[in-house]
Each structure stands twice: as structure tokens, then as C-alpha cells.
Amino acid sequence: MPLSSSSSLRAVTVLAVLCAGAGAQTSKEPFARDPKQPVDTFYTDRILHYTTAPSFLSPLVSYLPASNSVPTPEKVLGDVAGAPDMLPYAEDVHRYFRMLADSTPRVRVYSIGKSEEGREMIAVAVADESLLAGAEENKQRLAQLADPRSLRTKDGGTDDAKAQGLIDSSYPVYYITGSIHSTETGAPTALMELAYRLAVDDSPYIQYIRTHMIVLITPVVEVDGRDRMVDIYRWHKAHPGEQWPKLSYWGHYVGHDNNRDAMAMTLNLTNNVLSTYLDWHAQVLHDLHESVPYLYDNTVGDGPYNAWIDPTLVEEWQELGWNNVAQMQKFGMPGVFTHGNFDTWSPGYLMFLAAMHNGISRLYETFGNGGADTEKRILQPEEYSRTWYRQNPPLPVVMWSQRDNNNYEETALLSTLSYFAQNSHHFLENFYAKSKRSVEKPENEGPAAYVLPTDSAETNRQVQLMEVLQRQHVELSRLTEAVSTTLPPEKPGDKPAAAALPAGSFVVRMDQPYSRIADALLDHQYWAPDDPQKHPYDDTGWSFSELFDVKVLRVTDAAILRAKMSRVEDVSSLAGNLEGSGTVVAIANTGQSTLLPLLYKLKDAQVTIAEKPFDAEGKHFDSGSLLITGVAEPELTAVLKELALDGTRLTATPTVAAHVAPRPRIAMMHSWLLTQTEGWWRYAFDHAGIPYQYISTQTVSAESELRNQYDVIVFAPIDHASTADVLNGTPLYGNPLPWEKTELTPNLGGLDNTADTRPGLGYDGLQHLRKFVAQGGLLITCEDTAEFAIDTGLAPGVTVAPRKDARVAGTVLNTAFVASEHPVAWGFAAAPLPVISAEGLAFNISNMQEPPNNRMLADPYAIRPTGRGSLDDSDAVQGEKPVTPEVLPRQQPWEAKALDEDQTRNNPLVIPAQFRPEVILRFSDSRAMLLSGLLDKQESIAEHAIVVDAHLGAGNVLLFANNPIYRGETVGSYPLVFNAIMNFQYLEREVPTGDNTSAAR
């Protein structure tokens, strides 16, 4: 959308030539422009005008070649790419690429899918017309290089000579993605201009690129977030002198974490990019970001590097990263570096889809102003200091424009594309070698396969884990015969263990092209506490076998690959079975994440929840199993299949204590401070089909009768919000910051809206929440919102356990159930449940309302005082007859300290027995605690509580120290939340008989 008329711009005639030789490059440099090709002088002049310093320009972008037939970005933008004061919407960006495609055979546009909100994503191919004409044949050739099984010879080898022929006749595909992060605004216009240059420029430098490779471009990855960001920028330009709203929502579910989805692949954008990348069999996925001055090519990054990548990739990173810095140095552009503070451990980043699928992952961080304003930017010493890897650092103070950003982005991309084109043969050889080694994994480093043994209790979670693998384009198989194999010893010195794998077990073969991603997801991670990298950039552990709570065997004996097995194409067909005959259908609770949605989908059925285990039809059913009547078979089987649940028909209703399953009225309450972490909860609820009202803390502040409307309020994590933040929101000094759909901002609102995002929950809201719980509601809290519940007295007897110097960094940790009879624990069979912990939050509980760390909890003489004798002995006071102390039972770290008669007498702080908090889940002991990632000095949190049911009035506050619903990765712990919701009326504290420490009775 043109934001200013081009005719008025053309009137500007003051045109300082910033770069010597701009527009008339005459040197012998390889990037010299073609002097015979005319220059678009208007456009060129604007480039120079908007560039704020000569060194922020290069001979590659200091002019724009003119074309009679191909439109420049000005046609859509009304100004040049990177011009101040305007940002194009995604559809305007797309419109420009379609204009390009209509005007030149060197550009083609492909629709690659839709966002959650229905906005289109595109991929644009740019290359010489002869390459694009042969693009399909090129894909076929690359497909064979990508899957060397297609080149098998009769003797089982691989036909390398044929591969060489394919390499010789193919050209590589380099995939560039822009604007995944919506506040990083420069990439779309830089990519518009880049495509124009690649298609139009006749300089030998550019010609060589377009005749030797296909450049593939997705200019806007996060299309929903881009449109909202443009709205915010328009609001800002329409309200000069005012503060402008921050981008409360980017995509439909998450913001910045859209770049952490490359493992679970929950978001449409991740799936659309991977499908495009694999469809073209691209060699590179290069993702564009903005944050660091002026260009951090984190292709080299920092250690530790991911442990599952091919070593060739590491060499490619070094080669491309250092070469790119050298090229930029040649242009004299300051502030370019490739080593920096970003470890390359987690495979969660979008670019890493390539690293895990035999390609090359790359990422630029350029400098941006969060919009198109030209601004004075003041850097911090760590940003402008000269270091060994950044000899020509950024300037401490600079006037920075979006055009500067576009100059850096385009120059770096063009110079790296040139290098890639010059070495296309070499990179295709590497591509083939990496693909081949992925298939050869079983013979080389191993393992041979991962096996998920058949287990009806795990089917639901197995299906969900295998759906992730299928989204990663991993092939799955199923044993058609029983197999015995040996498993490698768990530690050196142990004997290999025999394992019997029943027919029907699922096999993830490692002799397939995309074995690396399966290996990386299913294996365990270990981050050494003494690793030189002291600041993990993201999670250090992610093992999906643990987080999906699925038994996965790492099989190294390659004999498994010769067992009889068949390919599994349709994973969803693996569950949904209904056996037996009778009118009552029982669904065993085995920790499936889809029991709660069943209640809403079968809304006319009678469903009861068994409160105790029972046996029927030769099967065992645990507490929490469902008994269903009154639903027709076709409807039931369809729902069971959709939810990956198996059912058993019973001839009679079993005699077991049961309660009618309610269909709780759920509210998901968000804070306007941040919406991302709770966005993953919304994703999980939506994906499962659990209905809820989406409200904010401001809604609760204004609504005093919450219990009339809701049974459960979910207050998912905000992300390091303090209690004061939750209550007070954002300070009210300036102007209101709206989030509303208006003519000016058509893409805001929608999910939720408010005239002012600043006010928080407030003390009225807190009072309303307290009343809601006291009247029998369930409030679910997690991480910072659990701390909020503790701080505000909503969780009597719960405190945060002092972490001391324990180190946890997105670590997968082991737990133990404490109250396996509690409804929240139903279905888990008291087996340890792996959880992810962000930073090692844990709880202490007490039978008194007392400040944390007071003397009662931390009696220094609790074990024994200094004195005579040994540890287990007693002291003796000289000259007195010994008196035996009244010793209370010593509590475990997860237990409340028992109170004696003296401590409870006339003590208003003592919590009546029925209101004392109950610990449901705790960390395991410190030796068994680590499953994946970094863990150090964990003694202070080992065995402490992580899931607690606190009782307040007639209701409950459930507190999670782990995040049970996180990034689509923690399917194993979803049922902790869903069980609580399903049984919200049945969470009262059962007071143990003989409890005489209660002050109330």
C-alpha cells in the first residue's frame, strides 16, 4: 500500500552521492555493475538519501538497475525498499512478488499454505528463465541426491558415479525466509529489492548467481504477526508524540517462540516452511532476524554445537560464516561478525529444520529499529567493543535507518549467494554426502533404530509422538513379527540387556534420509555443568521420549533392520478401537491427553469417572477411568478415533465409586503483560478441542461474580512476571495503549481487545479471584502465576523452595508421585513422570501460614545439636539426668513439618487440616533427577514439591512449578492439568483419621 505519492518524492532533488563510484562502478571488482545497463536514477537517489553513512552502503546496493518491463518495489511501496515511515502489509509484499512474476520469467510465485488465521504464505523462486523452466527436473535430480536409497546398486551399495552425474547436472536451491519475528521489520522490503536485483541486474556478478542457482524466498513467515505489526506502526505514525502499544500478540498463539517450534512443529508456519524446503530439496535455510548491531551472521555462532548434526555441516558453517564476514569487510561495512553469544545446541529454531534435514542452517541478526523510523541509536560497550572476532565493531552512537538495515541484509545475502553459486558443485557434493551418511547411520555411529514397543496404555501418546515425527517427514514402520534384540548397556561395565519386541511395535529406522531429526528428538541430552558455555541460549534438554512419557528403546543392533516390518502411513488409524459388547463403554485412564475433550465432544452422553480402580472383561481400569452410556456407536467410534482413544464395552456397569463427569466451564485468563507462554496452553486446548472463554486479568478485575460463569480459571504462565506486575500491570504515566480493531488497525483485537493494555488485575481482581476459589472454583497456576498465588495468600501453606545455587536451564527432570490417589495423579500409575523445568522452581509446604525460611521450617538443630557422641547419638548435659526429648517424625523435603502440641496451642497461624496443601508430585532424589540437559547443585530442590493442590474455602488452587503445557513438547504432562479440570469438584482434602494437630476441630 503506497503511503506517500511517488510524484511528490520525485520532486526531491537534493541527492548527496554518499558512495564514491555509486551508479558508475568502474573498478575491476567482480561486483562491478554492467555499465551498459541504465540505472533507475530516481530509485538510486532515494537509496543514497535514506542511507545515513557512506560505510553503510556497498557497491552491490548503491544503485538500482532500470528495467522497462519489470516493476521496482516502488510500484507497491510508493517509495524505495527500506524507506522511512512505512511498512507494507504481508499481502502488499506478496502483491509485489506476483507483479514480478507477471513481468519476468525469472520469477515464480508459489502459495505454500495458510497461517492459523487464514493469511497466505508464499515462496518465490528467482533464477534465470532456463533454470526455472527446468525446475521440476532439477527437483527430481535433487530428490535422488536427498535420498541415496534411490541410488542403490544390486550389491547393496550406492551408485556414486550416478550421483556425480546428478550433481554435475543440477543446480542448488538456497531458501531465504524473512520476518518470522514480527517486531523485526526490515526483511520483507530487503527481499523485495533483492528479488528485483537478482531478476534484472545484468552485472556479471548477479548474472552468475541467477544462472547457477535458484534463490527461494519466503518474504514474510509470520504473516499474522506482520499485519499486526504494520497496524501498530500505522497507529504510531497517526499519533505523533505518543507512546505506541507494544505488539501484544504476534501470531495466533505465540510470539518470539514461533522460532522454537522446529521440534514439535505445531505451528502452520513451521510446517509450511519445512514442506517447501523439502519439496525443493533446498541446500540452505537462511532465516533473517533483527536485534544485533549491525550484522551478526550467527552461522558460526558458539558452542556447544548440536550433537546430532553431520560434521560436514560444521565445516560448511565455518566456511560460509567467515567468508561472509570477509566479503563485508571488503566493502568496508563495519559491525559484521559471525562468532557470538549464541550456542547451537537446541534444534528448536526454524533455520535448524535444514540442519536436521541434511541442509545448511543459517541466521542473520541485522540491526533494526522495530519499525521504519530513522533513529539515533546508542549502543552499550559490549555491543561496540572491539573483540577478536569483531575487529571492525559497530559505532557507539549512530543514526540508523531501515534503509541501512536493508543495505546490510541485501549486501550480505548477495555476497553469500555469489560465494554459494561459485561453489555450487561443492555444496551439492556435501548435500549428497550428508544425505548418504544419514542413511548409513546404523552402520556408522548408530543407533540402528528407535523402537516404541506395543503398549495399549501408551497408544494415545505414541500416536501423538509419531505425528510429530511424521510432520518432520520421518518414515515409520511397524513390526509384523516378534523380534528379540539386545540393548546396549546403560553404563560401562554393565551387560547388554535382552529385549523382546512384540509384533506391532513401532520402529523408527535410522537408515532413512531424515534419521537425524528422529535421533535428536528421541535421544537424551547431556549438558556438562562445566561446559565453557555458561549461558545456554535456550532449553538444554528436550528428549521427546521423556516429555511425551513414551517408552522408547534405542536399539544399536542392526539386525532389527532385517526384521519383518511394514510402513505406517496413517498414524491416526492406530487407535480408536472399540472392543467387546455391552451398553457401557469403559475407557481406561492411562494418562491420555484427550480424555477431557471427549467430555465436550460427546456432550449428550452420560459419562461417569471411576474414583477407584476396578477390573472388568479381564482388564484392569485405574482410578479416573471413564464409563460412558447413551451414545450411538458411529458417533462414539468417530470421536474415539479423532482423540486416539481405545474403549472396551462392558456387559454391566462395574460396582465402583464414581461421580458424574461435569463439562466444566473453563476460562483462560491472560495478562496483557505478555501472552506468549499462555499461548502454548491455548494451542494445546484448541488442538485437543477443549472449549474455553478467553478473558484477561482486566475482565476479572471488572467481574465480581466469576463463580456464576466459570468452574475453572486457568492462569497460565506469563513469563517472569512479578506479583506486583500482575496486580499493577504496566505503569500508567503516559497515554493509553489500546489493542483494538479500528479502521486504522484492522488486524488488532480479534483474540482479545482492550482500550488500554496497561491496567493489571488490581486488588479488586484479586478479591474476585479469591471469592471465585472460596466459592468452589478451581484456579490453575504455573510458574510465575503460581508464585503470584503464593504471594497473595491464595495458596495457604505453600512457599517457594530456596533454589540456592541449583542450576537448571530448560532441563528434563525426573519426578515421583506423592499422592497417587489424588485425581490429578489418576492415570499415571504412580510411575515417575518426566517434566521440563525452566529454572528449577520448587515448592515447600507447611501446616502453618508462615513466612518462608522462618525458624519452624529451618531449625538449625533439627538433626542434632553439637555435643557428645555420634550423629545418631544423643547429647548429655553434664550434672543433669537425661530427659528424652519429644521428637516429632522427621519430614521429607516434600512434606510439611509436623507440629507438636506446644506449637499448635493458641496459634492462629495453624492451617486447619482440611485446608492444608497437598503435594501431588515432587522431584525425584538428586541422583535420579537428571533425564536430559543441564543440572548442577540440585540438592536444594531435589525431592521438593512441584505440583501442589492448595485449598481455599470451598475451592482449590493448583500450583505447578514445572510448565506442564509447553511448546507442544510436553504431551506426557498435559493430563495433570486436564485431570484437575475434569475433577474440579472432587479435589477436597481428605483429612486423615486420627489427625489431632488440627486447630479447627
Chain residues that interact with Zn ion, rule: CB under 5 A: 181, 184, 289
Asked if the bond preceding 304 is cis, omega within 30° of 0, the reply is yes
In SS3 terms, 579-613 reads as ECCCCEEEECCCCCCCHHHHHHHCCCCEEEEECCC
Nearer to Zn ion, 262 or 965 (CB): 262
- Shortest distance, position 291 Cβ to Zn ion, whole Å: 6
- Shortest distance, position 896 Cβ to Zn ion, whole Å: 45
Nearer to Zn ion, 256 or 741 (CB): 256
Residue 937 CB: number of other CB atoms within 10 A? 15
Q: 691 CB contacts (<8 Å, ≥6 apart)?
A: 600, 666
List 579's β-bridge partners, or say none.
648
- Shortest distance, position 739 Cβ to Zn ion, whole Å: 22
Nearer to Zn ion, 221 or 661 (CB): 221
- Shortest distance, position 115 Cβ to Zn ion, whole Å: 18
Cα distance between residue 189 and residue 367, in whole Å: 14
- Shortest distance, position 221 Cβ to Zn ion, whole Å: 11
Q: Which of 347, 321, 313, 349 is nearest to 435 (CA)?
A: 313
3-state secondary structure of 145: helix
- Shortest distance, position 824 Cβ to Zn ion, whole Å: 37
Nearer to Zn ion, 298 or 430 (CB): 298
- Shortest distance, position 289 Cβ to Zn ion, whole Å: 3
Determine the straight-line distance between the first and last CA of the chain, rounded to whole angstroms: 73
Cα distance between residue 897 and residue 853, in whole Å: 12
Q: Judge whether 188 and 218 are in contact, CB under 8 Å.
A: no
- Shortest distance, position 179 Cβ to Zn ion, whole Å: 9
Nearer to Zn ion, 536 or 840 (CB): 536
- Shortest distance, position 50 Cβ to Zn ion, whole Å: 23
Q: Any idea how long the chain is?
A: 1001
Nearer to Zn ion, 184 or 918 (CB): 184
Q: Which of 346, 725, 716, 381 is nearest to 538 (CA)?
A: 346
Report the amino acid identity of residue 610: A
Nearer to Zn ion, 437 or 967 (CB): 967
Cα distance between residue 215 and residue 209, in whole Å: 9
- Shortest distance, position 701 Cβ to Zn ion, whole Å: 33
Cell of 858: 529451618
Nearer to Zn ion, 591 or 679 (CB): 679
Report the amino acid identity of residue 420: F
Q: Please state whether beta strands 476-479 and 173-177 pair in parallel, antiparallel, or not at all (unpaired).
A: unpaired
Nearer to Zn ion, 141 or 289 (CB): 289
- Shortest distance, position 290 Cβ to Zn ion, whole Å: 6
Q: Judge whether 277 and 361 are in contact, CB under 8 Å.
A: no
Q: Judge whether 610 and 656 are in contact, CB under 8 Å.
A: yes
Cα distance between residue 813 and residue 542, in whole Å: 10
Nearer to Zn ion, 404 or 752 (CB): 404
Cα distance between residue 445 and residue 429, in whole Å: 21
Nearer to Zn ion, 181 or 649 (CB): 181
Nearer to Zn ion, 179 or 671 (CB): 179
For residue 306, give the DSSP letter.
P
- Shortest distance, position 366 Cβ to Zn ion, whole Å: 10
Cell of 814: 525426573
Side-chain half-sphere exposure of 115, counting CA atoms within 13 A: 22
Residue 450 CB: number of other CB atoms within 10 A? 24
- Shortest distance, position 259 Cβ to Zn ion, whole Å: 6
For residue 239, report the phi and psi dihedrals to the nearest 5 degrees: -125, 65
Nearer to Zn ion, 676 or 754 (CB): 676
Which value, in Å, is the radius of gyration of the alpha carbons in the chain? 31
* % helix, strand, coil for the chain, step of 5: 30, 20, 50
